[in-house]
Amino acid sequence: MPTRVNDVTLENRISQIIESKREDLIDISNQIWNFAETRFEEYQSAELLCQGLEREGFSVERGVGGIPTAFIGSVGSGSPVVAILGEFDALSGLSQQPGSAVKTPIQQGGNGHGCGHNLLGTGAFAAAIALKQMVEELRMPGTIRYYGCPGEEGGSGKTYMVRAGLFDDVDFSVTWHPMGHNGIMAARSLANYQVYYRFKGTSSHAAASPHLGRSALDAVEMMNVGVNYLREHVIPEARLHYAVTNAGGRSPNVVQAEADVLYLIRAPKVSQVEEIYQRVCNIARGAALMTDTEVEIVFDKACSNLVQNKTLEDVMQEKFTIFGIPDYDEHELEFAKNLRATLSDAERGSVRDPAIRDKDIADKISPPEALSEATSGGYGSTDVGDVSWVTPTAQCNTACWVVGTTAHTWQVVTIGATSIAHKGMLHAGKVMAATALEMMQNPSLREAAKAELKERIGNETYVCPIPAEVLPAASR
């Protein structure tokens, strides 16, 4: 297998390719940051990446999996087939000025990239175009695909794409996520269901004729009380979250005829989520009976737990070690210090790897054991989990945030358009491209990764957790 091209190592050549496109990649990331489009509404962000892929010689299929903002960019032919996963959706309510150590929204209540998906999608794009050029220079066979995956935040876009069979012929997948540390994401995740409970009652004058009204808001509140009592009687790893999305209006003198609550139910396995979900549904029905209202249960989305693949992770760890970590200048270090000062003591103390706990920016690659499920708890969820059930999948993290930053915060938004984040983004692209190239060159590694996936799954069969009749939607 070739280890050098143009008289430089393959890793150095990958770095050269990505660095040569640095300004264009940063511009794409910043544009997506500015668009800040939420789940399944990422029309500008998706089109920007599609056009970028086409300029680089990829053939792009838009609207895949029945999702207007999902797409696949492909180049090459034959096997192996590589999937590089990119995301580009933002979060509501997290608008924030870029590069500021003070919480200052651009638009009050506006959207913001509070999980760094502007970086995620662009870093994956960098990996795809670098891998394409490497394969061409080495005259290797194989198919490279960039999967444009919308709606990770509350939409599970990849789960729909897996359901549509878009990963059935993929040999392996790589992706990444911006974080406050450097390393391989060797942690589990929780499966989840997201479900609306919509109550309907009867309006009436709350003082003159309350006995004629049937309060949907009472039903929502009683359901929430019931679920809060349920928490003691589910497995400790389970998580139940809710948001009242419709409180029935702003007039206290009107008995609320309609009220909605959105639940997110998590557990280590889909089967456990299903069991808890049925109990939550019974509580909702009970609340409707107690208030003489009706309840409609609307399934919104779901995703599966993550299946790790150590074979692929080990290759990624090796490549990460070769590349090391980025360097930072005095201005970047000063900004990191000021931004980290906005974190609470609890946030700064929650860092998994003690070796970087007192740093402003992570200055080392954390070992896998420092980021494993034993130390992380694995309480987050990701639709990468569904991909990992059908093809070997690995993820890396690069330090795009200051140490101790938690996702879905204004600090993530403000740093996401700075040079610190851009350095982490480009670095992730290099690690992913090198990992994918090594796997493409080595059939025995691919077979080992597939064998490990089969062993980890055992007798279980992947079943999409989203019912067939449920379709992706920006909101319901």
Per DSSP, the residues of 303-352 read EPPP---HHHHHHHHHHHHHH------HHHHHHHHHHHTTS-HHHHHT-S
Look up residue 202 and give its DSSP letter: B
* Residue ranges per structural domain of the chain: 4-188+305-457, 191-303
CATH-assigned architecture of domain 4-188+305-457 = 3-Layer(aba) Sandwich (3.40)
Of the candidates 418, 396, 201, the one whose C-alpha atom is nearest the C-alpha of residue 317 is 396
Give me the pLDDT at residue 376, please: 45
Residue-level pLDDT at 21: 98
**pLDDT for res 374:** 40
Q: What is the pLDDT of residue 378?
A: 65
Contact, 462 vs 269, CB < 8 A? Answer: no
Instruction: From first to last of the 476 residues of the chain, give the pLDDT tens digit.
Output: 777 777 689 999 999 999 999 999 999 999 999 999 999 999 999 999 999 999 999 999 999 999 999 999 999 999 999 999 999 999 999 999 999 999 999 999 999 999 999 999 999 999 999 999 999 999 999 999 999 999 999 899 999 999 999 999 999 999 999 999 999 998 889 999 999 999 999 999 999 999 999 999 999 999 999 999 999 999 999 999 999 999 999 999 999 999 999 999 999 999 999 999 999 999 999 999 999 999 999 999 999 999 999 999 999 999 999 999 999 999 999 999 999 999 999 999 889 899 999 999 999 999 987 776 543 446 789 999 999 999 999 999 999 999 999 999 999 999 999 999 999 999 999 999 999 999 999 999 999 999 999 999 999 999 999 999 999 988 77
- Coil, strand, or helix at residue 295? strand
Residues pairing with 239 in the sheet: 266
Cβ distance 435 to 84 under 8 Å?
A: no
Distance from C-alpha of 216 to C-alpha of 88, rounded to nearest angstrom: 36
Q: Rg for the chain (alpha carbons), in Å?
A: 23
Pairing of strands 8-9, 4-5: antiparallel
Q: Which CATH number fits domain 191-303: 1.10.540.10, 1.20.1090.10, 3.40.50.300, 3.30.70.360?
A: 3.30.70.360
Which neighbouring-strand residues pair with 262?
Answer: 196, 243
The domains spanning 4-188+305-457 and 191-303 adopt the same CATH topology: no
Q: Tell me, what's the pLDDT at 375? A: 39
Q: How far apart are CA 330 and CA 62, in angstroms?
A: 43
Q: Are the C-beta atoms of 155 and 89 separated by less than 8 Å?
A: yes
